[in-house]
Amino acid sequence: MPAKNLDEIIAEILDLAAQKFRVPRAELSPDDDFFKKLEIDSMQALDLLTGLERHFSIELPDYELAGVTDFRTLAERIQARVG
């Protein structure tokens, strides 16, 4: 199976986030701050990350996610683990 490119990963993250938090997918963009855009707290963000880890079959160490608040950076971290 070929490695996913960043755009594919971003699209999957945005789809999953929209579905999970019932936000119209069209309202989400890669550079959005997911805390603000989804109106979520740190526990909900952790829940989202857990779902993404399951979806992509990876484990994201906390230190790699420190300070990450936008979808694009999150996708880059995931891509580094998936690829």
For 17, counting Cβ atoms within 10 Å of its Cβ (0-12 exposed, 13-18 middle, 19+ buried), the class is buried
Which domains, ranges and CATH numbers included, belong to the chain? 6-82 (1.10.1200.10)
- The residues, any chain, with a CB within 8 Å of residue 34's CB and separated by 6 or more, are 17, 40, 45, 48, 69, 70, 71, 74
pTM greater than the 0.75 cutoff? yes
Taking only the tens place, the pLDDT of each residue in 18-42 is 999 999 999 999 999 999 999 999 9
- Please compute the mean of the pLDDT values over residues 41-67 and round it to a whole number: 94
Element (DSSP H or E) covering residue 56: helix 42-56
Per residue in 39-50, pLDDT tens? 999 999 999 999
